[in-house]
Amino acid sequence: MAGTPAVRIDHYEWPGGREAMLRLGPPGAPTVIAALPFFEEGNRTRAAMVDVLRRLAAHGIAGALPDLPGTGESLTDTADATLSAWRNAFAAACAHLGEPVHICAWRSGALIDGEAPAASRWYLAPQSGEALIRELSRLRHLSGGTDIAGNAISEDLIAALAPAEPITTGRLRVARLQGDAKPADCLLPGRPLWRGSEPDTDSALQQAVADDIAAWIKSMLA
């Protein structure tokens, strides 16, 4: 998008090491930190999430997208990833940004922010750990192997996900796609990009997400 800041690379430290984090937007502005869905859903939606952060920058809102241990450019093997490490790392990334941030989490990304200091949370189609495991089990059955959609996932991670639930307290706004009958504060137009066969974007969805988050944050600052 013309006129929006370029992505820049930052890093944050957590007890298990050092990870990369994309940064956008003006310094000193309210900051949105993004949490992608886990595994293949994260790969399918990453470009869309980065575009949302670009659009938020056009609203004067800064953005950040951290790699978690075992994801993105992390040197940790996916098979060694744990839910507690993801939560600790995400909390450290939030702390690295300074003042309490606004969290934007999609799907299972809403399972990692419980330990993070946050001014607010904005979830898109939040998913429970139980629902995620059902999908992972189906994919494992279809593949006929031990990996899940090409990801080596430990049984410890599966066990930790089972009882995991998104946060439901504090300043929270839940968005869903039009046609989703689950409870929501707003319904947005667009396609469920996490269901695609490959990474994709949806300009209408990304604009709707950015506009709703920007209005949500500005309403709290008014």
Judge whether 173 lies within some domain. Answer: yes
Joined together, the tokens standing for residue 123 give: 């979830």
pLDDT at 76: 84
Looking at per-residue pLDDT, the higher value among 42 and 76 belongs to 42
Query: Tokens standing for 202?
Result: 């949806």
Cα 145–chain centre separation = 27
Report pLDDT for 50: 97
Q: What is the pLDDT of residue 1?
A: 46
Which of residues 39 and 203 earns the better pLDDT score?
A: 203
Residue 95 lies in a domain: yes
Q: How many domains does the chain have?
A: 1
Q: Among 72, 62, 44, which residue's Cα sits nearest to residue 149?
A: 44
Does 1 fall in a domain? no
153-162, 179-188, 191-200: range with lowest mean pLDDT: 153-162
* Residue 2: inside a domain: no
Question: What DSSP string runs through 113-130?
Answer: -TTS-EEEEEEES---HH
Report the number of secondary-structure helices (H) and strands (E) in the chain: 5, 8
In a domain, 217, yes or no: no
pLDDT tier for residue 132 given thresholds of 50, 70 and 90: very high
Per the domain annotation, does 58 fall within a domain? yes
Domain that includes residue 174, residue range: 8-211
| C-alpha closest to that of 213 among 122, 100, 119 | 122
User: How far apart, in whole angstroms, are the C-alpha atoms of residue 99 and residue 32?
Assistant: 11
Residue 164 has pLDDT above 80, yes or no: yes
pLDDT tens figures, 26-74: 888 999 999 999 988 999 999 999 999 999 999 999 999 999 998 888 8
According to the model, what pLDDT value does residue 179 have? 94
User: Do 100 and 152 contact (CB within 8 A), yes or no?
Assistant: no
Does residue 142 or residue 68 have the better pLDDT? 68
Instruction: Report yes or no on 216 lying in a domain.
Output: no
Tell me how far apart the alpha carbons of residues 71 and 81 are, in angstroms, rounded to a whole number. Answer: 9
Predicted confidence band at 75 (pLDDT cuts at 50, 70, 90)?
confident
Q: What's the helix, strand, coil split of the chain in %, to 5?
A: 40, 20, 40
- Confidence check: pLDDT of 160 > 90: yes
Asked whether the beta carbons of 88 and 65 are under 8 A apart, the reply is no
The answer to whether residue 166 sits within a structural domain is: yes
CATH number of the structural domain spanning residue 57: 3.40.50.1820
Query: For residue 200, what pLDDT band results from cuts at 50, 70 and 90?
Result: very high
Does the structure show a pLDDT above 60 at 2? no
Q: How confident is the model at residue 149 (pLDDT cuts 50, 70, 90)?
A: low
